[in-house]
Amino acid sequence: MTKRKRETSISQIEKRLKEGRGQGYGRDYIPWLLIQDVPSSGRATRIQGWKTNRIHHVHSDLERSYLYILEWSDIVTDIREQFPLLPIEETLSIAEELDIKHPADPRSKHPIVLTTDFLVSVGNQEVARTIKPSSQLDSPRVIEKFEIERRYWATRNIDWGIVTELDIPKILVQNIEWIHKEHNNEDTQRLGPYVVSGIEKIVLESIRDSHISLAVATSMADDQLGLEPGTSLAMIRHFIAAKRWKVNMNKPILPSQPLDGIIIENEQLRNSAMGG
């Protein structure tokens, strides 16, 4: 590598570091790669996070699905996507030891900073996860890049692993996606606790006594409480997202069907919802 190319590469890294990329925790973290920085395989998406209260940048459908699972998990405390493997000299050294070519920008040919798709905090520990379609796992070049990544995390005693679509529970992801944006439902404060409890009571009684669909039950709640159509259904999605209601997330939640097996563990909420 020429000195000019090396200096250019270093200046690009320093620029991103000054922007705060790959640094911080929680809502202060900024991914090394934003979705506008690179072409994506699938639908690149910005998602407002529950746990971090910031926008997450995911670069594929598979990454988005895994993010939903992390959001739902009770043991995950922080999620940092597109985490940089710095200093770059370390991954360059690993590549040299392995006698393989370090990944580079296809246009400039400068070495690029490798990233791990997710660095996840689980209690007081961290785990690193790379997301990849299973169809790409037989690519020798992909395996070479994985080995650089694996060795990088091994030196830090951090568990690293690969997640494919085979590890993703599809129904769970579909359910989380359906409820996700209602986790911080703004109507909760606007409507007030009396109306929110009213929605809960009407929907629960309708489902349990008449076994009607969720769509019909929430429509009845809207009518009885004088709410805009769709308000009660959005509130039910909020109850599930916030785990105020516990339901079987491994069974499809369909508004056109009854919602069975609802559990309200909080005694005060349960009594309020059932009129106790």
Task: Identify the pLDDT of residue 6.
Answer: 45
CATH number for the domain whose boundaries are 174-273: 1.10.10.10
User: What residue spans of 19-139 are helical by DSSP H?
Assistant: 61-72, 88-98
Q: Taking the domains of the chain in order of start, what are their residue ranges?
A: 3-168, 174-273
Selecting from 3.40.630.10, 2.40.30.20, 3.40.1350.10, 3.40.50.300, what CATH number does the domain 3-168 have?
A: 3.40.1350.10
Rg (CA), the chain: 23
pLDDT mean for each 10 residues of the chain (276 residues): 50 92 97 84 84 96 97 97 97 97 88 96 96 96 97 98 98 98 92 95 90 94 97 97 96 94 75 58
Task: Identify the pLDDT of residue 270.
Answer: 63
Assess whether the previous peptide bond of 133 is cis (omega < 30° from 0): no
Task: Identify the pLDDT of residue 37.
Answer: 85
* Alpha carbon distance 177, 184 (integer Å): 14
Helix, strand or coil, per DSSP, at residue 87 = coil
* Alpha carbon distance 222, 228 (integer Å): 6
pTM for the full predicted model = 0.91
User: What residue spans of 56-169 are helical by DSSP H?
Assistant: 61-72, 88-98, 140-154
Task: Identify the pLDDT of residue 115.
Answer: 97
The backbone torsions φ and ψ at residue 126, rounded to the nearest 5 degrees and listed phi first, read -125, 145
